Chains A and B, each alone.
Chain A
């Protein structure tokens, strides 16, 4: 809900958003043309020898770029929604055990029903993620409100415990390698036919805009929400469902990228605030842009070898995260 006076004042940020979309499109174009195999633009247009180039474009480059955009935007949106529901700036699916639970779910499927179609694998993984995140939310609401850092610390430990269980079974059944690919984002393996579930995550991210006001109100707290006549439990449940499905889709396709959503959501909050009507589009666009940039860096730094995007994002991200922590302390200390 845009407030009365801001309608006129905030025309410019809309232009800013357009500019940001433009930047993402440029990054996406670069992403299409960076890779080990040569794919000169001329070949695509001229027509001679183009069959191979077009094949490369359709099977590898476009899927990879689309997957990056979908993952980036949905992870950013998931993190922002989660930060509203937990009322904490430092949560996102990788700091609350959500992703670890999705991996555990996927491992359970790999052990018990390895032949299950990938869509159902995702459903099971999101079920695990949803249950665990809900449990964690209940746990957090029980601990007294103290430092806002307690929640992500608890979440990281919680995730660590789940991960220990997963690792134990993965080790026993020789699945450690698969486990690594689920949680460490790497888009080098993305090919046509192996990323399409991300469209569900992207679709959910877009759909969540319809409930933007409700998530903002939930961020004000349960009393505010109920005072305004909204069903707090229903908002939390739908938000966690979106977060879980996005996390599960990421885990079963290219893997998650730790801290991506957290950083993007915090930067956007500083710049445009937390009114989700305005912040959600920004988070989606910045998430896509940040992930594309990290992936391009990972492809270029040691060309022709690749560094997984999760590693690049981790290095860049932990730096920014540290900056956020110190800045926050300076403000409140």
Chain B
């Protein structure tokens, strides 16, 4: 379980994350939603010890992320940030292999190679495995990064806007894949996501943030209420039920 206790992050005067306390479950998909500047990404980065909090702490299975050695934590928790501007010429399989670094220390065993191959196959990258990253489309590259994070084989996977550079087809495919990963591999996947409808359809657990605070914590049904959405996004979002899913129509 990931426990967040009174987490706060301030930059000079601005408080980006304001006294957040949460418990994230051991399995399933948790979606963190909210308007721009709500502090979602900052929260995620603090959970993965990429940013040091101003106050409060994060415990991953009881381990304080700020005090636990990075190598220990890297076997339990993986994070993929958004906007990965990587202009390195690595092949897909080389990149994914680096996901095993916490386990292999640079000397991959048979076990490591199995994980690498599985992650590549899982994301449908078999044909692209010897291609360089700079020869791939944005969506393919994003899949390669996700494969790397999956190869790391951690119980907790944090993804910061994984749908960002994906078109409709690949965005839906990515969410289905994350759903499958959470179910089949019994992982706890936390995604920061902009599209509330993806959260509504695929997430087990939703955390809605605004102005650095948690506005709502609960199931997708709790989020997809017109009054709740108006509160969070400060705009009118009609909610309709389609094929058993509650969808928000913010275009109207």
- A interface residues, Cβ below 8 angstroms from B: 1-6, 9, 87, 89, 145, 148, 213, 216-217, 219-224, 226-231, 269-270, 273-275
Contact = CB atoms under 8 A, between A and B. Distances in A.
B48 A227 contact: yes
Nearest to A88: B87
Contacts of B70: 226, 229-231
B94 A3 contact: yes
B71 to A, nearest CB: 4
A6 B50 contact: no
Q: Give the dominant DSSP class at A's interface.
A: loop
A145 B88 CA distance: 16
19 contacts: A2-B94, A3-B97, A4-B116, A5-B117, A6-B91, A213-B101, A220-B95, A220-B98, A222-B50, A223-B45, A223-B50, A224-B84, A228-B102, A228-B152, A229-B74, A231-B70, A273-B132, A274-B90, A275-B94
Interface string B77-95: 0111100111111110111
Interface string B93-130: 11111111110101110000100110000000000011
Nearest to A4: B113
A89 B69 CA distance: 32
Contacts of A6: 91, 93-94, 130
A55 to B, nearest CB: 47
Closest 6 CB pairs of A and B: A229-B74, A3-B93, A229-B71, A4-B113, A229-B70, A273-B89
Contact of A1 (B89, B101, B130): B101
Interface residues of B, number: 45
A269 B116 contact: no
A213 to B, nearest CB: 4
Given A9-B130, A227-B79, A275-B90, A3 B102 contact: no
A32 B208 CA distance: 72
Nearest to A227: B79
Given A3-B116, A227-B80, A274-B88, 19 more contacts: A1-B94, A1-B104, A2-B108, A3-B108, A3-B129, A4-B93, A4-B113, A6-B91, A89-B87, A216-B90, A217-B101, A221-B84, A221-B85, A223-B50, A226-B48, A227-B48, A227-B149, A270-B89, A275-B90
Contacts of A270: 89
Contacts of A216: 88, 90, 98
B108 to A, nearest CB: 6
B73 A229 contact: yes
A217 to B, nearest CB: 6
Contacts of A220: 84, 86, 88, 95, 98
A239 to B, nearest CB: 15
Contacts, number: 108
A87 B69 contact: no
Interface in B46-92: 48-50, 69-75, 78-81, 84-91
Interface in B125-177: 129-130, 132, 149, 152
Nearest to B102: A229
Residue of A87, A89, A217, A229 contacting most chain B CB atoms (<10 Å): A229
Interface of B: 45, 48-50, 69-75, 78-81, 84-91, 93-102, 104, 106-108, 113, 116-117, 129-130, 132, 149, 152
A324 to B, nearest CB: 14
A230 B81 CA distance: 16
Contacts of B69: 229
Residue of A4, A9, A219, A223 contacting most chain B CB atoms (<10 Å): A4
A201 to B, nearest CB: 25
B74 A5 contact: no
A220 B89 CA distance: 10
B98 A217 contact: yes
Contact of B130 (A5, A228, A269): A5
A200 B91 CA distance: 33
Contacts of A145: 85
Given A217-B101, A226-B49, A87 B116 contact: no
A231 B69 CA distance: 10
Given A5-B130, A219-B88, A228 B98 contact: yes
Given A228-B102, A269-B89, A4 B74 contact: no
Nearest to B158: A227
Nearest to B154: A227
A5 B93 contact: yes
A73 to B, nearest CB: 21
A249 B224 CA distance: 65
Nearest to B104: A1
Contacts of A273: 89-91, 94, 132
A5 B121 CA distance: 13
A257 B97 CA distance: 36
A8 B84 CA distance: 30
A266 to B, nearest CB: 10
B97 A1 contact: yes
A228 B113 CA distance: 17
Contacts of A1: 94, 97-98, 100-101, 104, 106-108
B104 to A, nearest CB: 7
Contacts of A275: 90-91, 94
